Amino acid sequence: MPTNRTFTMIKPDAVADGFSGPIIQQIEAAGFKIIAIKKVHLSKEEAGKFYAIHAERPFYQSLCDYMSSGAIIPMVLEKDNAVEDFRKLIGSTNPEQAAEGTIRKQFARSLESNAIHGSDSDENAAIEAAFFFSEKELA
Ligand code: RTP
Ligand code: MG
């Protein structure tokens, strides 16, 4: 995947709360182009595979329950400096600590139910995009 791309998911809380539209609007207004998008409901096993990197963390089981509790909207986005700029746009993991105007500050419910995911490196963006999208969908 080109290095000017990142991967995101609108998480179950934000989809259920009806915030997909305003979140996508803010992502596009910030200059990100949507390369691929879909709506899926992960099983707990699939959520566990996606978050395998956190398997040893105390919150792993709860995270897998949460991420399989409802539909999510995975997307691949394109922009210069995509990974870093998108992490800035979404804000800190804990919405209480997220800066004003960030997506998590506006739309997240809690530390776990924090509305949106953003890849933390170009390498992980490519791995995460390939989890949801085919090569053809990313071309
Ligand atoms: P993400 O991967 O979703 O973009 O979030 P992040 O980098 O800001 O945070 P990370 O450390 O990768 O954690 C992944 C997700 O796990 C949930 N979490 N729960 N209960 C807890 O202490 C806790 N800590 C993290 C959040 O949903 C977080 O986004
Ligand atoms: Mg992370």
| pLDDT tens, position by position, 93-116 | 999 999 999 999 999 999 999 999
pLDDT at 106: 98
- Please report the pLDDT score of residue 55 as a whole number: 97
Q: Is 41 a catalytic residue?
A: no
Q: How far is the CA of 64 from the centre of ligand 2 (A)?
A: 14
10-47 pLDDT, tens digit per residue, is: 999 999 999 999 999 999 999 999 999 999 999 999 99
Report the predicted TM-score, pTM, of the whole model to 2 decimal places: 0.96
* The pLDDT of residue 57 is above 90: yes
Quote the pLDDT of residue 87. Answer: 98
Percent of the chain scored above 70 by pLDDT?
100
Minimum-distance ligand 1 atom for the alpha carbon of 117: 4
Catalytic site residue from 117, 125, 128, 132: 117
Annotated binding site: 11, 59, 87, 93, 104, 114
Residue nearest to atom 17 of ligand 1 (CA): 112
Residue carrying structure tokens 């997506």: 103
**Best of 67, 93, 127 to mutate for ligand 1, by most ligand atoms within 8 A of CB?**
93
pLDDT of residue 3: 84
Nearest CA to ligand 1 atom 29: 93
Query: Tokens representing 45?
Result: 């096993």
Query: Helix/strand/coil (H, E, C) string of the chain?
Result: CCCCEEEEEECHHHHHCCCHHHHHHHHHHCCCEEEEECCECCCHHHHHHHCHHHCCCCCHHHHHHHHCCCCEEEEEEECCCHHHHHHHHHCCCCHHHCCCCCHHHHHCCCCCCCCEEECCCHHHHHHHHHHHCCHHHHC
Domains of the chain, each with CATH number or no CATH: 5-138 (3.30.70.141)
At residue 1, the pLDDT reads 82
Residue 2 pLDDT exceeds 90:
no
Nearest CA to ligand 1 atom 13: 93
